[in-house]
Amino acid sequence: MLSFSNVFYEIALIMAIATVVGGLALRLRQPLIMAFIVVGIVVGPAGINLVESSEQVELFAELGIALLLFVVGLKLDPHEIQAVGPVAITTGIGQIIITGGLGYLIALALGLNVTSAFYIGIALTFSSTIITVKLFSDQREIDALHGRIALGVLIVQDIVVVLVMIALSAFTGNHQQGFGEALLMVLFKGSCFLICVVLITRYLLPNLLHTLARSTELLLIFAISWAVALASVGDALGFSQEVGAFVAGVALASTPYRTDLGARLVSLRDFLLLFFFINLGVHIDITHFASQLFPALVLSMFVLL
């Protein structure tokens, strides 16, 4: 086990390892995402156990998540969202029902009990918004029609996750409110959140952005703080940080500064996302891989198909 008393040294070594492994991945024509996850496994408890400053790594990861969805939101004009919205909602709900149902049946066939199979079915239903959006961005397909529809499906899934968690809490008796009351509360908080963002975007942001635009640095700092603030509000209201950051980006998508902000934030976004994938690898527990290998392979094949 390697140990560093200085967080700076630890981060520097992690970045050096990520650079080497990332270079090898490029030579082998493999995605950088997989390389960074491998780095996380190597520097995590399953490897050399280098990561002692996990809180700092997680903070960088959360900032990267916020900037990723913020930049994606910047590229989506509200009129485009209206165009792909019905398709995304229909596809998202249909995918959740079909995938969840089939996943539940497969889990039962693998010998899991009803409760475990239900949770497996739910887990198989939802995609990783961060990984999917990053892959689309790297392939420059996030602006294409199928990219926008896929993003819409992911946002629908993130919202459904909230509703499913409410239902599970009510079902298991861990929630003080009933499902109906909790659902109404979520809808109320979501509506208030969107109304506040619309009012701020329409009446406050235009003059504020015009003033801040005199300094490129101030405009960039405001954009980052706006993204992180709405991501925090979204998380505090019971939604995900991804939804909040995405809404922050969409709020600025109709401004004349969207292109410049998006271009300037890409490098910072990619740097911070490095820590998200490393953090993901750090938390992968490989000690139970052998016993769970067959069910994992079967369920993975189902997801891929």
- The domain ranges of the chain are 64-282
* The pLDDT of residue 1 is above 60: no
CATH of domain 64-282: 1.20.1530.20
> What pLDDT, on a 0 to 100 scale, did the predictor assign at position 21?
92
With a pLDDT cut of 70, the percent of the chain lying above it is 84
Residue that wins the pLDDT comparison between 80 and 258: 258
* The pLDDT of residue 254 is above 70: yes
* The pLDDT of residue 20 is above 90: yes
Rounded to a whole number, what is the distance in angstroms from the first to the last CA of the chain? 40
Do 21 and 38 touch, CB atoms closer than 8 A? yes
Residue that wins the pLDDT comparison between 210 and 161: 210
Query: What is the average per-residue pLDDT within 209-236?
Result: 92
> What pLDDT, on a 0 to 100 scale, did the predictor assign at position 81?
66
> What pLDDT, on a 0 to 100 scale, did the predictor assign at position 10?
84
Q: Record the pTM.
A: 0.76
With a pLDDT cut of 90, the percent of the chain lying above it is 17
Residue that wins the pLDDT comparison between 257 and 6: 257
